[in-house]
Structures are given as structure tokens and as C-alpha cells.
Structure 1
């Protein structure tokens, strides 16, 4: 696995794209994660967009949407009931793993900031790599997040807004 860091805005775990042939000198590149589960949630909310959770499966190049729409907990990874979306939606989210900071992968599971504390919602993010599941509930208010998570929060908002 190749890890690329960007010093200007913190360290990021990137899934580099291999452009050359596969050889011992140029092995195939592993993705940053096998699956990313991500979305947004609001506790004091009504209507269709109160809880939107998606699963990005990089091995099968699929984006799936959760039909359970359960409020995520701070104690365990999200257990959804996922159905596939059109390939065009996968294309809108396929690069999301590139925005997951390496520093986040060292954080303990659970909340970061005060997600949904003031009825402003939260983001759910789970990274599944080789059977290991790590998850976080992130504040949507960047003032409550460490600076290294600001680009990720912006990207989550942008990607979720493009999905059904």
C-alpha cells in the first residue's frame, strides 16, 4: 500500500491510482479502504433526509444506500440494510477515501466534537479495511472539530448533497 501525505493541509491517506503496468517494481496499489460507510444524521428532524447512510464498496465498485435509517450510536459501528444505487452515484463518491486523514485512523472510535448536540446533525464515517472496522460520529460544526478534519467535513457535505 502506498501512503501519500500532503503537508499543506495535514496528512491524508490516499489511494493512489496506478498508471503503469504491474511488475515487482510497480505493484498494484491497494485502495485506502475496502469499504467506507458514511452519511449524515439529525435527531430532531422530520422528513426524508434526517438520516442518510451509504456504503462505498471499492472492491465491487458499488455505492449502496441504507434503508434502515437508524440513528447511529457511539458504542458500535452502524448496522444497516443496504441496497445498491446506480453506478452514476458510485462515481460521485468513489474518491471519498482520499479525503480520510491518516490522523483520524489513530483516533478512538466514537464522537469527535459534539455531533447533533445543538440539533445541527452529525456525520457518520466508518472505515473497513481487511475486516477491521473503525467508526466516528463527527460534528458538522467545523468550530467543534480539529482543523485536520475540516477538509473531510467539507467533502462529506459535498458528496452527501450529490446523493439521493
Structure 2
């Protein structure tokens, strides 16, 4: 259920030269580390969790990533209960 992440990946991010977007974890809100690998090239970004600090094109990606992280945490919790 987490394999559909690439469908949400904005082209604008691939053209982004800055590796830090916003101010990840400046206010203890955490941040996202996003990595994209294609054709032997790896790109990485640290992204703020506060929408007000992000360009609008990243809002959907951030929401989707947080949903996937929550799903993984739920599955891990269920697995630990067994």
C-alpha cells in the first residue's frame, strides 16, 4: 500500500536545487526526508512539515507521505500485538 508514492511525486521537486525546503524540525514539528532514485542518480530533500513554509506543489506529497507513515506505524503496532 505504500508503493504508489511515485505517482504523487511532483516534477517541480525534481527541478528543485535546494536540498532543504522550509525549516524542517525548527519548531519540533519534525520533517520529511524524501529521496528519489532514477537512472543511477539519487536526489534528497529535507522538507518542513508546516504547510505555510512550503510551496503549494509539495502539500499533496507531504500529506500522502504522512498518511503512509501512519499506515506503516499502524501495521507495525498490529504486528507487535500478535
Q: Could you tell me the TM-score, scaled by structure 1's length?
A: 0.43
**Is there any run of 5+ residues in structure 1 with no aligned partner, and where?**
1-91
Runs of 4+ in structure 1 deviating by more than 2 angstroms, as ranges, are none
Aligned equivalent of 2:66, options 135, 149, 157: 157
Show the counterpart of 2:53.
Answer: 144
Gaps of 5+ in 2: 77-82
Which residue number in structure 2 is paired with residue 119 of structure 1?
Answer: 28
Q: Please list, as runs of the form range in 1=range in 2, the aligned pairs for 1:63-78 lying within 5 A after superposition.
A: none
Asked if the contact 1:109–1:134 (Cα under 8 Å) also holds between the matched residues in 2, the reply is: no
Coordinate RMSD, CA, aligned: 0.9
Q: Which has the larger radius of gyration?
A: 1
State TM-score, norm by structure 2: 0.85
Q: Higher relative contact order at CA 8 Å, sep ≥6: structure 1 or structure 2?
A: 2
Question: Quick one: distance in 1 between partners of 2:41 and 2:21?
Answer: 20
Structure with greater helix share of residues: 2
Deviation at 1:130, TM superposition (A): 1.2
- Whole-angstrom CA distance in 1 between matches of 2:61 and 2:42: 18
